Structure 1
Amino acid sequence: MSSRSLEAITDPHATSRLCVHTRDAQEQASSFGLLHQSYEQLSTGAFSGSLFAISANDITVFRESLDQSVFQTGVSDTQHITIAAACELSERAYWNGRHIDQDSVVAFTPGREFELRTPMRSVCVGISLAPSVLQSLSPERPPEYWQKLFTHHDCWSETGRLKFDLQSRIMHLLQQVGAAGDPADGAADLLDLRELAIDYLGSVVERGQTGGQKLRIDSYPRIARRARAAMLERLGEPLSVTDLCNELGCSRRSLQYAFESIYDLGPVAYLRTLRLAAARRQLTSGMPGTTVQEVAAAVGFSHLPRFAQEYARMFGERPSESLAAHRPARAA
């Protein structure tokens, strides 16, 4: 496991490589510093993820693999626009109010919040660029134009040759650098990729195409977002579906449909994943004096054996094992 994080490269002559393999969803999220994000594991079983990336100057290319369904929330880096496309999706995903498939491309707009749910198995490749490089597409437009454009046009369907070429070149470069071991060997290829990415984005702008399937009810993302906030505020308290409906002023059916559309889970199951994720953060924090019983009570589990059973089912290890693996070493 690794806690390294990919950050922006400021030296124009520097090239860096990052390769991480993780067994924890939140550690996976923190590896990619260009997206300030958080991952919540939704499916049950031991988590496995990897990230391989190479950066130089104002460009980063990456490949991410996830072997569990996760819900990703965060804010894109203000100095970069990131586009990502799936090489593999075991089922459709959710992106900012839309259901998307393997033909979809998404754009993480600088400084904008995002929501993404990936299925049990997903592999994607992407590229991050400084927005200023897009000026060559239309020099007369101000820099703010591109941010506004991709804010309202952050998903499109793509089966064309340019997308295939871009994905193939990214995969080839990452494999080449991974085998060679010297990131500097890929510096020239990165510059070529930047030009290819600019041409690709220019073609997207010309077509003005949108993609993904909008949710049947526009209010579902808002309902789910408000319900999630209420759950996070009351993780340690009893909270029923009726309580949520009364607080949000919505019907049980609307709440159920909203959660199934966005998280692929009902509200009760999703609340359980939030509580278990909060427990995992506490158990792996390395704080002295932490006990399994105290953590279980803090996240709303009054029955310790039930908590241990649910935790092991969710993360593939017992809570005591998570605690022991991150217990601070005793002083001699």
Structure 2
Amino acid sequence: MTHDLNDTSRIVLHARDPSEQASSFGLLHQSYEQLSIGAFSGSLVAVSANDILVFQETLDQSVFQTGVSDAGYITIAAACELSDQGYWNGRHIDLDSVVAFTPGREFELRTPAHAVCFGVSLAPSLLRSISPEHPTDYWEKFFARNDCWSDAGRLRGDLQSRIARVLQDASAASAQAERAADLVELRELAIDYFGSLIERCSIGGHKLRVESYPRIARRARATMLERLSEPLSVTDLCTELGCSRRSLQYAFESIYGLGPVAYLRAMRLAEARRRLTGGKRGTTVQDVAAAVGFNHLPRFAQEYARMFGERPSASLAAHRAGGQS
């Protein structure tokens, strides 16, 4: 079966807001929560045809990403720059790690304060040539069981450099036919790379020291979301979850890179930013502050400005100006 790659499209994005960055990549239905302090800066370059997409994403703040992968694609991703370890579905990851976003499955990813990641998404049907005796859903089940590898092989370097070439061509607005030819070669190289991961089949990353940490952190995060506008202490969380303060602290530090108090503050501020930059007509800073658990408006404004590099009133004004343009 042949695939027509002549109809290619591209995305070039420079974002100053985590939500804008998260929504730009259509194959991952995701949300970003900024964890580190400072003005957000990110970018995405992607080129796609009907059965393949390649991308490079840059993030200059730590973010916690949650979402669901597109049901029609398998995506593998790796980093070419990381300022520190990250977190992926129960494991700590580094520059040697490769991760797989399985079709239709939820994922959790935390990036450090600076990260540059590249990746490729393929329709599962393209993997039939690796092992024709297996049905198409075999690969989806395989990647659901094996979604992280440690890999420093030559083929990864070839894939990374080929992706960089395609994206550089896209940025230069090169001829459509030239991009299509590069994608044909890249697609075959990507299939070979998927095959090399399958043959190796050795789980990578560093598994968390305590297996219950992801479960504790996930349940605590859900409680925080449900009670975002309420006073909520570490004692409250421990009582509700039935865990010790030490376990809660270690779980959050392992997964989010922050303690539970700092993470709750970051979560509340991230929700405030979403409401200020995407709120309904009539939204006020005071209403948003109360909705995310800040009853003291000057304190909210101070914390918000420290986190995002601008006052909440500036975020709201920019959103209103954008809506009028």
- Of 245, 268, 279 in structure 2, the residue corresponding to residue 252 of structure 1 is 245
1:326 aligns with 2:319: yes
Q: Which runs of 5+ in 2 are unaligned?
A: none
User: Judging changes above 3 Å, is the alpha-carbon distance between structure 1 residues 252 and 329 closer, same or farther for their aligned structure 2 residues?
Assistant: closer
Equivalents in 2 of 1:323, 1:184: separation in Å?
44
1:98 aligns with 2:76: no
Correspondence for 1:263: 256
Aligned CA RMSD, in angstroms, stands at 1.5
The alignment-based identity, stated in percent, is 74
Q: Which runs of 5+ in 1 are unaligned?
A: 1-9
Equivalents in 1 of 2:221, 2:192: separation in Å?
39
Contact in 2 for aligned 1:23/1:47 (Cα 8 Å): yes
User: Judging changes above 3 Å, is the alpha-carbon distance between structure 1 residues 221 and 183 closer, same or farther for their aligned structure 2 residues?
Assistant: farther
Correspondence for 2:286: 293
Match of 1:284, SS state, is: helix
Question: What count of residue pairs does the alignment treat as equivalent?
Answer: 322
Comparing 184-193 and 35-44, the one that deviates more: 184-193
Correspondence for 1:167: 160
Contact in 2 for aligned 1:16/1:183 (Cα 8 Å): no
Shift of 1:183: 4.5
Q: Which deviations, in whole Å up to 9, do the C-alpha atoms of 1:266-316 show, x marking residues without a partner?
A: 000000011111111111124221111111111111111110010001111
Equivalents in 1 of 2:176, 2:204: separation in Å?
35
Equivalents in 2 of 1:270, 1:180: separation in Å?
41
Contact in 2 for aligned 1:215/1:261 (Cα 8 Å): yes
Equivalents in 2 of 1:120, 1:223: separation in Å?
24
Shift of 1:330: 9.6
Contact in 2 for aligned 1:14/1:56 (Cα 8 Å): yes
Shift of 1:73: 0.4
Correspondence for 1:132: 125
Question: Which residue type is aligned with residue 201 of structure 1?
Answer: F
1:232 aligns with 2:225: yes
Correspondence for 2:200: 207
- Of 131, 141, 151 in structure 1, the residue corresponding to residue 144 of structure 2 is 151
Q: Which deviations, in whole Å up to 9, do the C-alpha atoms of 1:75-97 show, x marking residues without a partner?
A: 10000000011010000100000
- Of 256, 266, 270 in structure 2, the residue corresponding to residue 277 of structure 1 is 270
Q: Which deviations, in whole Å up to 9, do the C-alpha atoms of 1:7-50 show, x marking residues without a partner?
A: xxx98541101101000001100000001111000001000000
Question: Which residue type is aligned with residue 323 of structure 1?
Answer: L
Equivalents in 2 of 1:330, 1:196: separation in Å?
44
